[in-house]
Amino acid sequence: MRVQANGKVRRSSEEWREILDRFERSGISQREFCRKEGLPLGSFSKWKRRMDGSEMLPGMDAGRFVELTETPSRVTGLSAGEMELSLPGGVQLRWRV
């Protein structure tokens, strides 16, 4: 756990895993657990979703494959044999096949 100059606490994924394990063993509600542990309920809920795989980025659909279809290079501006993948947040991956 790191406390930043502004007083915010930063925990690693491993630390959140330990906290979530303690919660699972506690048998109490999330709200009560967070009150006892001094944790923000919002941060706890976000990490719980993240760790159990239920948090998804906008536009993602859990457990489903997305078919990639070939797009003519004249439409995309890519050369033959090139592929491009656009991810949330404006990240683009481009490679040659």
State residue 55's pLDDT score: 58
On the question of pLDDT at 83 being above 60, the answer is yes
Check residues 30 and 78 and name the one with the higher pLDDT: 30
Check residues 91 and 21 and name the one with the higher pLDDT: 21
Distance from C-alpha of 8 to C-alpha of 95, rounded to nearest angstrom: 40
Distance from C-alpha of 42 to C-alpha of 47, rounded to nearest angstrom: 9
State residue 16's pLDDT score: 92
% of the chain with per-residue pLDDT over 70: 73
4 contacts 10 by C-beta, under 8 angstroms: yes
Express each pLDDT in 40-77 by its tens digit.
999 999 899 888 866 555 555 555 666 666 655 555 66
1 contacts 28 by C-beta, under 8 angstroms: no
Sorted by where each begins, the domain ranges of the chain are 2-52
State residue 13's pLDDT score: 87
